[in-house]
Structure 1
C-alpha cells in the first residue's frame, strides 16, 4: 500500500465509484501515514499507508456520533472501502474554508479573536463532554495511573535517546519539566475524556472573510486522556494569551492545575517528540534547531530561578 501512487489510487476510486470518473483530482498531502487526494474540488479521500487501520476504524465508528454532538462540522464519511478491500480509504465532502494558521489569527482584530476563541472553546467543551460511546467509560483512578506511567515512560525514552546529545544544563531543564509534571498529585486528578489529540492550527478551518470557524478535521488520534492535553498545540501555535482566551470560555472538565499542565508541560511535548524523532532519524539539522529552543528555555529558567 505504501508504494502505491496517487494515479493508482484515483483509478481505484473511479473503478469502485464510476460517478467520480472524469473529475479532476490533486494530491492534497502525502506523509508516511496517509495520502490525501481531492476529487472534483469537492471530495477529500484519505488512504492510510500503513497496515494498522485501527485508528481509521475508530473514526468510522465515532465520527457519525460526534458529528451530531459537536458545534462545528467534522468529516462525514460518505465513501468507505469494503471490509475485504486491500486498498483502504474514506471519503468525505470537503469542509469549506482554510486552516487557521498562526499568521492569520495574528491579523484578527480583538472581536474576531474573541469570537474564534469562543468557537474553539465550545468545540472542545462539547468534545470533552461526549459520553455517547462505550470507549468513554473508563475507571478514572486506574486510567490516571496509566496516564502517569505513559509519561514516565516518555521521559525514559528522552533520557535514553536524546540525553546523550545534550549538555548538562539542557538535561537538567528537561528533567525539571518532567519532575514538576509527574510528581504533584494534583496533576492527576483530572476527569478522563475523549480527546482529539491532534487539535492544531492546520486542522482548524475558518472562513477568511468572516473569521468564523467552519470545521475541524483529522481525528486519527482520537483517544481518552487528560482534557488539558487538547490545548497543547493551541498554546504552542497561537501562544499563551490566546489559549487563556479559549480557557475563559471553556466549560469542560477543568480542575485546579489545568492551565499549569498546559503551559508547563503539554506545550513542550511536540518539541520533545521532534527531538526524539530527529535522533532516531539521525536528522542532526532538526536536532540543532531544537537545541536552540532548549537553550532559549534554559535562559528563561535562569531568569525564573
Structure 2
C-alpha cells in the first residue's frame, strides 16, 4: 500500500493524506480509499491500464448525461507504466441496495422513480451519441449465441441430458426473443444489479450508481434483467419504475428469460478463469 501512497503524493502533492485503506483487491484493479473521501484505482496489469484509460474517458463524459451520481474522475495519472498510473474520484456514500435491504424499505416509490429516471437518461439517444466513439457495440443475438456456445463447451460435460435440454431451451428462447424484439441499441450499464446501486437507508433514496466495467451499446433489457433476477426486486417495483420509464415494461419478458442464465454465467466464469468457488456456486442447480 505504501507504493500507492508514494505515487499519489508525487502526482497530487496538494492532497494531504491523513488516512488510507485498501478496500478492494479485485481481478483488475486495486482500490484505495484516501481520507475517507477519495477512491483511487490502480491497474494490476498493462491490459487493465488500457481498460482504466478508457473507463476514465467514459466516466468523464457519462457524468454529464445521467441523473444520478456516478464515479466522476477528479485526479488522474494514466501513463504507459502500470506502476505509476491511477485515476481517482470522490467517494459516493451509501450502501448496496441488496434484496434484504430493499425488502425492509417502508416505501420504494422514490427509489423506483430515481432508477427509472437514471435508466431513461442512460438509455437515451443523446447518451449514445456522446459515447458512441468510446463504447463497444455488442450485437445481442451474437452475444447470446456466443454465450450458449461457451456454456455448451465448458459446462455441458457436467450435466445430464435433461438438464442440457433445459439449458438449450433457455438460450433458444432468449435468441428468439432478441431476434424478434423491436428496440434501438443504446448505452447499457451491463451490471445494473443490487450490488452497484447505492442508497441511504435513513432517507430511503439512491445515492449513486457504481461499477461501469461492463458498459456497452446493446440491448436495454440487459439492465432490467439485473433488477429482476434471483437477488433483485419485485415485479411490483418494476411496475412503479415503469411510471417514470415506460419502456421498461416492454423489456421485461426478455429480461426474465435472461435472468435464467445468471447462475450459468457465474459457472462459466469459474470454468474459464479457474475460480472453483464461482464454478460450484453457479453449477449447483444444474448438477
Range class of TM-score, shorter chain: 0.7 to 0.9
Contact residue 122 and residue 249 of structure 1 kept, 8 A: no
Matches within 5 A, 1:103-252: 103-109=100-106, 112-132=107-127, 134=129, 146-184=139-177, 187-236=180-229, 237-241=231-235, 244-245=238-239, 247-251=241-245
Alpha-carbon separation, structure 1, partners of 2:40 and 2:3: 13
Alpha-carbon separation, structure 2, partners of 1:150 and 1:132: 22
- What is the CA deviation profile of residues 96-130 of structure 1, one whole-angstrom value per residue up to 9, with x for unaligned ones? 22222221111001xx2122111111111110005
Alpha-carbon separation, structure 1, partners of 2:204 and 2:189: 22
- What is the CA deviation profile of residues 226-251 of structure 1, one whole-angstrom value per residue up to 9, with x for unaligned ones? 01101222112223425523542353
Contact residue 117 and residue 246 of structure 1 kept, 8 A: yes
Contact residue 128 and residue 252 of structure 1 kept, 8 A: no
- What is the CA deviation profile of residues 211-268 of structure 1, one whole-angstrom value per residue up to 9, with x for unaligned ones? 1111111222221010110122211222342552354235375584x21111112x13
Deviation (angstroms), 1:153? 1.3
Residues 26, 185 of structure 1: alpha-carbon distance in 2 compared, 3 angstrom cutoff: closer
- When normalised by structure 1's length, the TM-score is 0.82
- When normalised by structure 2's length, the TM-score is 0.87
Deviation (angstroms), 1:294? 3.7
Alpha-carbon separation, structure 2, partners of 1:124 and 1:193: 11
Match of 1:94 in 2: 91
Secondary structure of the residue aligned to 1:159 is: helix
Indicate yes or no: 2:32 matched with 1:32: no
Match of 1:17 in 2: 12
Secondary structure of the residue aligned to 2:112 is: helix
Deviation (angstroms), 1:189? 2.5
- What is the CA deviation profile of residues 2-47 of structure 1, one whole-angstrom value per residue up to 9, with x for unaligned ones? xxxx322122112222233442101121111111110000111111
- What is the CA deviation profile of residues 123-182 of structure 1, one whole-angstrom value per residue up to 9, with x for unaligned ones? 1111000524657559xxxx9993212211111111111000111121111100001111
Match of 2:268 in 1: 276
In proportion to residue count, which structure has more helix?
1
Secondary structure of the residue aligned to 2:24 is: strand
Structure 2 residues not aligned, in runs of 5+: none
Contact residue 181 and residue 187 of structure 1 kept, 8 A: no
Structure 1 residues not aligned, in runs of 5+: 1-5, 296-305
CA RMSD of aligned residues (A): 2.7
Contact residue 128 and residue 253 of structure 1 kept, 8 A: no
Residue 79 of structure 2: which of 62, 76, 83 is its match?
Answer: 83
Contact residue 227 and residue 253 of structure 1 kept, 8 A: no
Deviation (angstroms), 1:185? 6.4
Alpha-carbon separation, structure 1, partners of 2:94 and 2:137: 37
Alpha-carbon separation, structure 1, partners of 2:275 and 2:33: 31
Residues 51, 105 of structure 1: alpha-carbon distance in 2 compared, 3 angstrom cutoff: same
